[in-house]
Amino acid sequence: MIAIIGLLVGVAIGILWHPVVPLWMQPYLPIAIVAALDAVFGGFRALMEKRFDDRIFVVSFLSNVVIAAFLVFLGDQLGVGAQMSTGVVVVLAMRIFANAAAIRRILFRA
Amino acid sequence: MSTPTLEDGSESGLLERFIAQAVVDEYAQVAPTEPGAPGRRRHLLAVPAMVVIGLLIIVAVISARAADEQRQSTRDALVERVSTLTASVAERQATVDGQTSTVDGLRADVLGGVTPEQEAELSRLAQLAAVTELSGPGVTVTIDDAPGAEAGSLNRVLDRDLQDIVNTLWRTGAVGIAVNEERLTGTTAIRGAGEAILVNYRPIGRPYVISAVGTSTSGQTDSGLDALLATLADDYGLVSTTSTGDVALPAGVVRDPRFAQTDQEGAGS
Contacts of B156 (CB under 8 A, 6+ apart): B145, B146, B149
Question: ∠ CA B67-B70-B72 to the nearest 5 degrees?
Answer: 110
Within a domain: A5: no
Within a domain: A88: yes
Residue ranges of the alpha helices (H) in chain A? Answer: 2-17, 28-48, 54-78, 81-108
Q: What residues of chain A score a pLDDT lower than 50? A: none
pLDDT digits (tens, 9 = 90+) for B19-28: 676 666 777 7
Q: Distance from B28 to chain A by nearest Cα, in Å?
A: 9
Tell if the CB–CB gap between B32 and A49 is shorter than 8 Å: yes
Residue B56: band (very low, low, confident or very high) from pLDDT cuts 50, 70, 90: confident
Tell if the CB–CB gap between A10 and B52 is shorter than 8 Å: yes
- Phi–psi pair at B245, nearest 5 degrees: 150, -170
Closest chain B residue to A46, measured at CA: B27
Q: Which residues of B touch A32 (CB under 8 A)?
A: 56
Nearest by CB to residue A60, choosing from B26, B58, B63, is: B26
Predicted confidence (pLDDT) at residue B2 exceeds the cutoff of 50: no
Nearest by CB to residue B46, choosing from A18, A29, A57, is: A57
Tell if the CB–CB gap between A51 and B31 is shorter than 8 Å: yes
Number of domains in chain A: 1
Nearest by CB to residue A50, choosing from B33, B60, B67, is: B33
Tell if the CB–CB gap between B57 and A11 is shorter than 8 Å: yes
Residue A32's domain comprises 23-108
Q: Which residues of A touch B56 (CB under 8 A)?
A: 10, 29, 32-33, 36
Tell if the CB–CB gap between B47 and A6 is shorter than 8 Å: yes
Least confident of B111-115, B143-147, B214-218: B214-218
Tell if the CB–CB gap between B58 and A10 is shorter than 8 Å: yes
Among B94-103, B192-201, B219-228, the range with the most confident prediction by mean pLDDT is B94-103
> What is the b/e burial string over A45-59, where b = at least 16 CB atoms within 10 angstroms of the residue's CB?
bbbbbebbbbebbbe
Least confident of B32-36, B133-137, B197-201, B223-227: B32-36
Complex ipTM > 0.85? no
- Phi–psi pair at B149, nearest 5 degrees: -70, 140
